[in-house]
């Protein structure tokens, strides 16, 4: 769950879109994040409201949805929104 940055800091190209069927839906998602000081990643859980906005990365689209109004997020997560991989997204309503 990130803005899909390459190791060199450059952002990967993407196509933006909007899915009205997801707008305003409550959802949960999980994903990985680097564990500081290691080469490992740990699981993180999020819950909030989907905006319907998405980004497709690559020729075979890898879709990420924007979740805001977070009600569940890791203790040290500093942001009010997160991009969730569609494959790790669970709609609640």
Cα dihedral 12, 83, 18, 62 sign? positive
> Which pLDDT value is given to residue 10?
60
Domain ranges of the chain: 14-91
Given the structure tokens 């959802």, which residue do they identify?
27
- Asked whether the whole model's pTM tops 0.85, one would answer no
- Higher per-residue confidence, 33 vs 93: 93
Say whether pLDDT at 2 is over 80: no
The tens digit of pLDDT for each residue in 51-89 reads 999 999 998 889 999 999 999 999 888 899 999 999 999
For the chain, what is the radius of gyration of the CA atoms?
A: 13
């Amino acid at each position: 769950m990130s803005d899909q940055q390459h190791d060199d800091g450059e952002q990967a190209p993407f196509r933006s879109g909007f899915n009205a069927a997801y707008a305003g839906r409550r959802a949960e998602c999980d994903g990985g994040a680097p564990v500081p000081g290691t080469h490992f990643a740990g699981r993180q859980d999020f819950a909030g409201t989907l905006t319907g906005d998405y980004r497709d990365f690559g020729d075979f689209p890898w879709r990420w949805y924007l979740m805001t109004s977070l009600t569940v997020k890791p203790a040290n997560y500093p942001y009010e929104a997160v991009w969730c991989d569609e494959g790790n997204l669970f709609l609640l309503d």
